[in-house]
C-alpha cells in the first residue's frame, strides 16, 4: 500500500514545504527538498547543495517508500487509504520510534479507530513547546483520518515558520498512572494482606493443636476459617493482577 497523491499533497507537501537549496534546520541537520536529510538515504545532503523541483519530487517519493514500509510493518489492522495516509504522514513527521512506542499505534492495532484523532492531538510539541504548525498538521491529519477531506479553517491560516517546518513532533506530557494510584489495586493488596493475617493465625493455632505435619495439614484443609482466608488471598491477588493488566493495556 502506498500513500495517495491526494494525501501527499494535503499533508506532507503542505506542512513540510519545499526548499531547493540546502539549509540547516534548528537541530543543525542539513536539509533539502521536502524535509529530506541524509538519514533518509541518498542523496546525502551537503551545505550549498541545490536541486531542481523534479529532484525534490523524486527524493520525496523515494523517502516515502521507507516510511510506508515502516507503517505497513507496524500496523496489524486493515486500513482505508485515508487512514494509511495519516499514519505515513505522522511517521514522516514524528519518526518510526515515536510511532512504534505510541498509544496512537496501540489504538490503531486494537481497531479503536474513533480514538485515533484524540491521540494525534497529543503530538503538537516540538522542542518543548506547542507549535501552531504542528497543531494545524494534527488537525489536518484528524480530518483526513475521519473522512478523507482536507480540514476547512475559516480563520486565515499563516504559513508555518521554518521552526515549525523543521521541529519534529514530540508527545504532550502525559501522567501515566501506576498501580499505586489505583484504588482497586490498593484495595486488593489490603484484602490479600488481611487474608494473609487470618491464614497465619489459623496456621499458628493449628500448630499448637496437631502433633505432626500431616495432621496439621489435614486439619487446615478442613478448617473453614482457613479456607475462607485462603480464598480471600486468592481473590485479592486476582483483582490486583487483572487491574494491572488493564492499566498496562488501556492506561487507566
Where in the chain are the domains?
5-166, 179-250
Least confident of 27-41, 92-106, 118-132, 157-171: 157-171
* Torsion angle defined by CA atoms of residues 39, 45, 47 and 51, in that order, rounded to the nearest 10 degrees: -150
Q: Is the pTM of this model over 0.85?
A: no
First to last CA, the chain: 34
Looking at CATH, the fold of the domain delimited by 5-166 is given as Lysozyme (1.10.530)
Report DSSP state, residue 142: H
Selection from 48-62, 154-168, 182-196 with the highest mean pLDDT = 48-62
Smallest CA-to-CA distance from 81 within 15, 173, 148, 134 is with: 148
Q: How confident is the model at residue 121 (pLDDT cuts 50, 70, 90)?
A: very high
Annotation says 16 is catalytic: yes
SS3 210: coil
Residue 4 confidence (pLDDT): 96
Q: What ranges make up the beta strands (E) of the chain?
A: 19-24, 30-33, 125-126, 129-130
Residues with Cβ < 8 Å from 107, sequence gap 6 or more? 113, 115, 116, 119
Please identify which of the residues 6, 16, 119, 249 carries the catalytic annotation: 16
Cα gap 10→31, rounded to integer Å:
21
Amino acid at each position: 500500500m502506498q500513500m495517495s497523491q491526494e494525501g501527499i499533497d494535503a499533508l506532507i507537501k503542505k506542512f513540510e514545504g519545499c526548499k531547493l537549496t540546502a539549509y540547516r534546520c534548528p537541530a543543525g541537520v542539513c536539509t533539502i527538498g521536502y524535509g529530506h536529510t541524509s538519514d533518509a538515504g541518498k542523496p546525502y545532503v551537503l551545505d550549498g547543495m541545490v536541486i531542481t523541483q523534479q529532484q525534490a519530487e523524486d527524493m520525496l517519493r523515494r523517502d516515502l517508500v521507507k516510511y510506508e514500509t515502516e507503517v505497513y510493518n507496524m500496523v496489524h489492522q486493515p486500513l482505508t487509504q485515508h487512514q494509511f495516509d495519516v499514519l505515513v504522514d505522522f511517521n514522516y513527521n514524528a519518526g518510526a520510534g515515536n510511532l512504534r512506542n505510541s498509544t496512537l499505534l496501540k489504538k490503531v492495532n486494537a481497531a479503536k479507530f474513533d480514538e485515533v484523532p484524540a491521540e494525534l492531538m497529543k503530538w503538537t510539541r516540538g522542542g518543548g513547546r506547542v507549535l501552531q504548525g504542528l497543531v494545524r498538521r494534527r488537525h489536518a491529519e484528524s480530518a483526513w483520518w475521519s473522512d478523507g477531506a482536507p480540514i476547512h479553517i475559516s480563520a486565515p491560516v499563516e504559513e508555518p515558520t521554518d521552526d515549525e517546518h523543521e521541529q519534529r513532533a514530540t508527545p504532550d506530557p502525559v501522567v501515566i498512572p501506576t498501580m499505586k494510584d489505583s484504588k482497586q489495586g490498593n484495595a486488593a493488596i489490603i484484602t490479600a494482606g488481611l487474608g494473609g493475617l487470618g491464614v497465619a493465625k489459623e496456621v499458628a493455632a493449628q500448630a499448637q493443636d496437631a502433633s505432626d505435619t500431616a495432621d496439621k495439614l489435614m486439619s487446615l484443609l478442613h478448617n473453614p476459617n482457613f479456607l475462607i482466608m485462603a480464598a480471600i488471598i486468592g481473590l485479592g491477588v486476582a483483582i490486583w493482577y487483572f487491574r494491572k493488566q488493564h492499566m498496562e493495556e488501556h492506561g487507566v
